[in-house]
Structure 1
Amino acid sequence: MDVVKRLSSLQEISKAQLSKIFSVNPNRKYLIIEPRLIKPLERVCGVRWLKASGVEKIFKLESIAPNFSDNVVFYMIYPELKVFSQVVDQIRAQVDIENPPNNKFHIICIPQISYLFEEELEQYGLLESVVRIHCFQWMPIHLDTGILSLEVPLLYKTLFVNENFILLPVLSKSLWQLCFVTGKPRVILALGSQSNNLLNQYDSLCEDRGETDQIDSEFGALIIIDRNVDYTSALLTPGIYSGLLNEVYTVTAGICESTKTNSKNPEEDGPVFDEKCNPVPKKQPVSITLNSNMDIVYADIKNRFFTEVTSVLSNLTKELKSEKMYSKEMALDEIKRYVQTQLQATKSRKKFISNHLLAAESIINALGHRYEKQKKVETDIMKNSNKSSNITYLEESIATENDKLMSLRLFCLIAISQKLTGSEINSFWRKFLLHFGYDYGFAYNNLINAGFIDDFNQSLTTINIPGKINLKIPKFSTSNFYINAKNLRQIPAEPDKINLKNPTCPSYVYGGAYIPLITQVAGMVLNAVPLEDIRSKLEPFGSVTVRNDNGYPLHCRTVLVYVVGGVTYAEIAACNLLETLMGTRICVMSDAVINGNDLMNGILSI
């Protein structure tokens, strides 16, 4: 079976798992869903399947609960204590303490249950007798051809900023379950501390609960990489359509939806300004599912450089107009045949084109005024040139853009590549807090924890020598961004000469500035570079594990890349180009599809 068909079947396994939970009470039931779960759940099962599974009504989780009367109630939430407490309060408000209901209230936690939840229910005397908790971890969601997402929010912040490993078992279990469907790859490479931890937990699951008995795997190799090993790919501004779409709109589970707000303000269509009187770019209402099989227009433009997208959409619009003119001149039998065979497809294509034109207009409105300047600055950063002017642009952008995420993102890009002195960091941070508020003072420690900047208070190592004065010597980092990038050929020498229209280099996704690390590693594996050479080239990036069970060079030239902490559409597009150039297949899996602003939100949230 083709690997894409196997990945598409994962949805059926998730449905079977959810159906088993619903079957604990066969009666008709209400389902109350936390709003953040709505779009992922649409990709897992959909409303029609829920109705067929006994769900009578579906509600959003709100502060005031609907009247449940005698209906069975299932809540579906992410495992956050604040949300769980809200659910418990709603249940307690409708429970008769003298005559508590049995098997009526159920809470489904995705993807795991916190022990604090059971403690809270125990305190109120609700555990098991009134409320039952269920854990539901859906299989990786097949968002688009070769793209798998677990849709676990806040994993980057939890794992890399807070250094809390509570969600790591979710990642290892998802890999363990996936291998039962696709088989276990014979070649495994893990890069980064969390990726190695994930691999160790996967090994433990195989020992404790068994592993797949499939002899052959759909994947010749598995590559697991930490997000913090290659921050650059997330921080750079993408140049491709799908990446820019995710920058401007909120994309969840591969669904991009933006509705026009209903307002009675007569000046609604006029310019909108933020609190510092800067104009706010207008976003057009769109509804796009980022799935090539559902949207033929998206399939054509998703990985194109944005300057090419507008011309493609323009040509498609002209084709629609010419088709409309031709239909007016049809004979009666031709009209009948046209209505039966082409009209519906034409209507769908018209809707797709309209959505993408509106989205392209919004991208231009939001980023057009600074895109070229930002691209030049980012290219200079990748070439390690003009550091002083890059810092000047960064500090000016704080005031001119009034965008805390954009400013912090550019700061982090400079900090991990060109390296900033303590005084340069302090200067930026003072200006950032002055402009955006001192409430963000805590984020400085988050930047240190995430590895964007050094902790200068701990930059000296104390050496205790008996009978002597304690000596303090500075710590020297062995990692250098440009040396590592040069060793893996990630930075093209002449970015301006990269063909953006018909690309042959994966760096085109960033306008020729940089090639994502996952693309280079996958390329080395597919090109059968000796594993020891791969190990030596990757060791400067972090801890490396390489396993080969008589599978190298690859017998099956299909690779699964598992990014821990979120993957970007630009990285996916770079892998898509590589697989086209090499005649292979690269599937990408992660906890979520993100952009650089998502990382910055993780830094700026408590």
Structure 2
Amino acid sequence: MAAAVAPSASRHASATSSPDPQAAAAAAATDAPLPSPWDGLETSILTDLAKRGLLSTLDSIKEAKTLILDPSLAGPLGLVADVQSLKHHGVERMFWLENHSPAFVPKTSTSASAAAAAAAASVNAHGHPYSLKAINAPTRSVVYICRPEIRWMSAIAEHIRADRAARPSSPLQHTYTVTFVPHRTEPCLQFLDREAVLSDISLLDFGLEFVPLEKDVISLEEDTAWKRIYADGDHTSIFRSAQALMTMQHAYGLFPRIIGKGNLARRLADLLIRQRREHLASDPTNPSLTTPSTSIDSLIIIDRSVDLATPLCTQLTYEGLVDEVVGIRNAHVEVDPALLTGTNQPAPPHPSQPSGSGTPLQMTSAPKKRKHRLDSTTDLLFAEIRDLNFAVVGEKLHRAAKRLNEDYEGRHQAKTVSQIRAFVGKLGGLQNEHASLRLHTGLTEKIMQFTGREEFNRMLEIQQNLVAGLDMNAQQQGIEDMVNEERSLVAVLRLLCLSSIVGPGAGGIKAKNLEFVKREILQTYGYQYLALLLTLQKAAKGGRSSTGAAAAAAAASVNGHAPGSAAAALPAAGSASASGDGVTTTLVFFLGGVTFTEIAALRFMSRQTRNRRFVVATTNTISGDSMIRDLSHGCL
């Protein structure tokens, strides 16, 4: 485990059972904060619901506890609860959960070759044997919050076996609780049982569902949803999506209409309707399951496979390019500290703290990048430029800098005490604007370095020609030229997939041409990418469609009819469409991920209508690069 990330805290005395998200949704709705200037759906209800679920789970363990957290959950949980809240609910220290050490040999590894390999790996760089990794927790109670993955089960099993080895004739030093997000799975339980540690573990489930990334964007934050659904054939994410949408109906009322596009959209809609019937059978008088919502008029489900072309094209909005170049995860970007502090000096190193495994941190002189939340409610400049085409962002930043400079110059006109007091009163706001301008100017410079490269412009030209259907043979030759020049493999594969999807005819690229370019890729970049090519070919078969599925489906909702698709209109109950002066919301759910450009398009549609707003719901946010990397099994 890495360094501690939270200080000591006092124990919280109260304890409640972990609530069911759907049962708590109605209560969360009544206690929601006052509406924000956004006049659409009040999604802060979902933040409150997730926070209640997390804190109630912690309160079910009555003693002070050490929290060991799956790093992939830090972002989603950080959007719903802060460190101070965790401290108030009995968390004294926090550590990151790390993979098991080379010394850990699972009891299920019975083959001689596996045991020999493990023994050989159990020697460090100095030739000394490793020991089992033990935790260094200051409290008796240790609580893990993690995804149900075997690698985390291995790490937890190692901690318990190290505890036993240190005290062979005494009870364990710690009590262990594993909280699965969103729920436990049979493979994980079987693994813990085979490792003979299941009896020493208390099990909990925390059904984290929709997390608001913005006032109009909510996400399940399942980073691997695209790969699991469309490459692995694992439909767990579809079931989770249905559960989360069911919780929304408990909070906001029944969706009056459900329409969708794509085969898996049909499956999700059917599952959602079946779940509603099951809930009604057990609670027939529940008003949230019998009364149409007054705030949501429709649910539109977009199966990502009906439009793979959109994410494969390079995003050209500011926020989209920030995602393409820097990367946005859980509404955060990682940037150089200088962009946030305004100084080029490296941040002073923090004193080393013991990690959960007892290994001291190795401090380096190079400053680490810092995470920053991209929040349009506190960063008005970001709210202004995030959905704009990047070509006009520079002018917007110039105007903002000029206006800010004029505001600062106002201090020279402050002569009287009251004028000075007025200037000092707005100084804090000016400093915040200055910090925002510095951040976005730095990000813009980084993007311009990326977009100014010859490779980027060639890739963009090929993309646009492919989508426009211009001289497909010439575009194919352009892709082959990039292979011969050993350009970025991710960029090459992105263009190849796009060509396969939007190419003329039923088969996309001709089989002869496809085999030729595959052979060229393997000979140029290495045969370790053969599995990736086969996986991409399989995933792309279901993605041949026209671009703009999101806009088409959303427009169909506005016009009152469903787009031609495998999922036709599925009436749920009644009919809360926009009428009069009231504002209604259309919920657009992307199964398999959404791009920031598609979000920008739906925001544009919201601005074009007087009384309709679009809220984006999704399994996660994606880009063409992330889709390909997710399928690469770590080889990219």
TM-score (norm 1): 0.80
CA drift of 1:121 comes to 2.3
Aligned twin of 1:241: 318
CA drift of 1:387 comes to 0.8
Aligned twin of 1:578: 605
For residues 134 and 492 of structure 2, what CA distance do their matches in structure 1 show?
40
CA drift of 1:78 comes to 1.7
2:430 is equivalent to residue 346 of structure 1: yes
Cα shift readout 1:557-590 (whole Å, capped 9, x = no counterpart): 4210011100000001001111111222000101
- Residues 5, 73 of structure 1: CA spacing in aligned structure 2 closer, same or farther, 3 A cutoff? farther
| Aligned residue identity for 1:564 | L
Aligned twin of 2:58: 22
Aligned twin of 1:38: 74
2:250 is equivalent to residue 180 of structure 1: yes
For residues 452 and 355 of structure 1, what CA distance do their matches in structure 2 show?
41
**Percent identical residues:** 22
SS in 2 for 1:167: helix
Residues 162, 449 of structure 1: 8 Å contact kept: no
For residues 171 and 165 of structure 1, what CA distance do their matches in structure 2 show?
10
2:409 is equivalent to residue 325 of structure 1: yes
SS in 2 for 1:67: coil
2:300 is equivalent to residue 223 of structure 1: yes
1:285-296 matches, cutoff 5 A: 287-296=371-380
For residues 309 and 170 of structure 1, what CA distance do their matches in structure 2 show?
38
Aligned twin of 1:369: 453
- Residues 284, 570 of structure 1: CA spacing in aligned structure 2 closer, same or farther, 3 A cutoff? farther
2:86 is equivalent to residue 50 of structure 1: yes
Cα shift readout 1:289-313 (whole Å, capped 9, x = no counterpart): 2221121111000101101111111
Which deviates more, 135-144 or 58-67?
Answer: 58-67
Aligned twin of 1:74: 143
Instruction: Say which of 289, 298, 312 aligns to 2:382.
Output: 298
Residues 256, 289 of structure 1: 8 Å contact kept: yes
Which deviates more, 13-22 or 399-408?
Answer: 399-408
2:273 is equivalent to residue 203 of structure 1: yes
For residues 288 and 398 of structure 1, what CA distance do their matches in structure 2 show?
36
| Aligned residue identity for 2:537 | I
Instruction: Say which of 107, 116, 121 aligns to 2:192.
Output: 121
Aligned twin of 2:106: none
1:458-497 matches, cutoff 5 A: 481=545, 485=546
SS in 2 for 1:327: helix
Residues 286, 358 of structure 1: 8 Å contact kept: no
- Residues 199, 100 of structure 1: CA spacing in aligned structure 2 closer, same or farther, 3 A cutoff? farther
- Residues 336, 74 of structure 1: CA spacing in aligned structure 2 closer, same or farther, 3 A cutoff? farther
Residues 145, 181 of structure 2: 8 Å contact kept: yes
Residues 142, 176 of structure 2: 8 Å contact kept: yes
Aligned twin of 1:403: 488
- Residues 4, 109 of structure 1: CA spacing in aligned structure 2 closer, same or farther, 3 A cutoff? farther
- Residues 216, 204 of structure 1: CA spacing in aligned structure 2 closer, same or farther, 3 A cutoff? closer
SS in 1 for 2:87: helix
Aligned twin of 2:160: 91
Residues 66, 91 of structure 2: 8 Å contact kept: yes
CA drift of 1:19 comes to 2.0
CA drift of 1:97 comes to 5.3
Instruction: Say which of 124, 127, 134 aligns to 2:204.
Output: 134
Aligned twin of 2:554: 522
2:603 is equivalent to residue 603 of structure 1: no
For residues 630 and 529 of structure 2, what CA distance do their matches in structure 1 show?
12
Residues 301, 591 of structure 2: 8 Å contact kept: yes
| Aligned residue identity for 1:369 | R
Q: How many pairs does the alignment contain? A: 521
For residues 19 and 97 of structure 1, what CA distance do their matches in structure 2 show?
35
- Residues 450, 379 of structure 1: CA spacing in aligned structure 2 closer, same or farther, 3 A cutoff? same
SS in 2 for 1:79: coil
Instruction: Say which of 588, 592, 596 aligns to 1:569.
Output: 596
For residues 313 and 626 of structure 2, what CA distance do their matches in structure 1 show?
13
| Aligned residue identity for 1:355 | L
SS in 1 for 2:394: helix
SS in 1 for 2:92: strand
Cα shift readout 1:267-291 (whole Å, capped 9, x = no counterpart): xx9xxxxxxxxxxxxx996754222
Residues 161, 602 of structure 1: 8 Å contact kept: no
2:420 is equivalent to residue 420 of structure 1: no
For residues 171 and 592 of structure 2, what CA distance do their matches in structure 1 show?
43
Residues 317, 388 of structure 2: 8 Å contact kept: yes
Residues 284, 361 of structure 1: 8 Å contact kept: no
For residues 250 and 603 of structure 1, what CA distance do their matches in structure 2 show?
17
Instruction: Say which of 249, 258, 263 aligns to 2:335.
Output: 258
Cα shift readout 1:366-385 (whole Å, capped 9, x = no counterpart): 22224444333222212211
Residues 284, 359 of structure 1: 8 Å contact kept: no
Residues 191, 225 of structure 1: 8 Å contact kept: yes
For residues 572 and 40 of structure 1, what CA distance do their matches in structure 2 show?
19
- Residues 401, 54 of structure 1: CA spacing in aligned structure 2 closer, same or farther, 3 A cutoff? farther
Cα shift readout 1:93-138 (whole Å, capped 9, x = no counterpart): 12445444498211122122221221222234432x4212222122
| Aligned residue identity for 2:473 | S
SS in 1 for 2:236: coil
2:570 is equivalent to residue 546 of structure 1: yes
Residues 183, 206 of structure 2: 8 Å contact kept: yes
Cα shift readout 1:490-512 (whole Å, capped 9, x = no counterpart): xxxxxxxxxxxxxxxxxxxxxxx
Cα shift readout 1:502-526 (whole Å, capped 9, x = no counterpart): xxxxxxxxxxxx6x21112111211
For residues 19 and 284 of structure 1, what CA distance do their matches in structure 2 show?
30
Aligned twin of 1:467: none
Aligned twin of 1:383: 468
Residues 146, 587 of structure 1: 8 Å contact kept: yes
1:99-118 matches, cutoff 5 A: 99-101=170-172, 104-118=175-189
Residues 186, 221 of structure 1: 8 Å contact kept: yes
SS in 1 for 2:481: helix
Residues 162, 446 of structure 1: 8 Å contact kept: no
- Residues 100, 117 of structure 1: CA spacing in aligned structure 2 closer, same or farther, 3 A cutoff? farther
Residues 40, 585 of structure 2: 8 Å contact kept: no
- Residues 48, 358 of structure 1: CA spacing in aligned structure 2 closer, same or farther, 3 A cutoff? same
Instruction: Say which of 191, 200, 219 aligns to 1:149.
Output: 219
Unaligned runs of 5+ in 2: 1-33, 100-132, 339-345, 347-366
Residues 292, 573 of structure 2: 8 Å contact kept: no
Unaligned runs of 5+ in 1: 262-268, 270-282, 454-478, 486-513
